[in-house]
Structure 1
């Protein structure tokens, strides 16, 4: 867990959405599920898991579109530029996972988890083992 206090800050590609998320980060992860791969157009979706109570859309709430990608999964993105902002589960409403690529400045904490490694593309490298 990232023990710092304060906030993470992020925005979408077009700048229409700006958000903040209160620290701490409970964990950061790379998710290799096929839904994350398709949503991000990449080998993984990378997220910082934070408390949903500390997540605030500071600008552009009306630009957020949510896609119900599964029975409990909701993926929030910018309706203008398509930037992926967050993933949340209706089964865990106390947490939200913000996308690492939207953070300003870039995320400086560790990425401790790899999820759904059974669908991880063979062309991606693995995380270094923890010491």
Structure 2
């Protein structure tokens, strides 16, 4: 059973299934959230996750007008997971929260329109300039 957690361990998630998708995102919101040039994200069925601890929620409105609810630890500030109105049956989790070097590699890279030019990715990762609507 996989476990993700914040830096201090007060907010933890346990999963009974593997992720349905692992992806990189280069959008400006993810760059700001992570403090890095892109985010690495794992998406799970909401039914396979147990959440332990308290989170603080920050609601962001995306370019589409839909809401993304970011959940971070109120003690250490780590953003561990999020829920998007556009996909209510999925929960997104920061891959870094697993501290697992053998974690499933990304299948795609989205919002490459704002990718830093010096970021080079493996050719096995499918690139998208925006969000691949209707594919996942």
Count of residue pairs brought into register by the alignment: 121
Give the Cα–Cα distance (whole angstroms) in 2 for the partners of residues 93 and 22 of structure 1.
18
Instruction: Give the superposition deviation at 1:120.
Output: 0.8
Instruction: Give the superposition deviation at 1:74.
Output: 1.2
Equivalent of 1:76, from 71, 96, 101?
71
In the superposition, the TM-score normalised over structure 1's length comes to 0.83
Equivalent of 2:124, from 121, 124, 129?
129
> Partner of 2:57 in structure 1?
66
Equivalent of 1:24, from 10, 15, 18?
18
Q: Which moved more, 1:118-127 or 1:44-53?
A: 118-127
Instruction: Give the superposition deviation at 1:13.
Output: 0.4
> Partner of 1:3 in structure 2?
none
Q: Which moved more, 1:109-118 or 1:15-24?
A: 15-24
User: What secondary structure, in the 3-state scheme, does the structure 1 residue paired with 2:87 have?
Assistant: coil
Q: Which runs of 5+ in 1 are unaligned?
A: 1-6
Mapping for residues 37-76 of structure 1, pairs under 5 Å: 37-58=31-52, 60=53, 62=54, 64-70=55-61, 71-76=66-71
Q: Please provide the CA RMSD for this pair.
A: 1.6
> Partner of 2:110 in structure 1?
115
In the superposition, the TM-score normalised over structure 2's length comes to 0.80
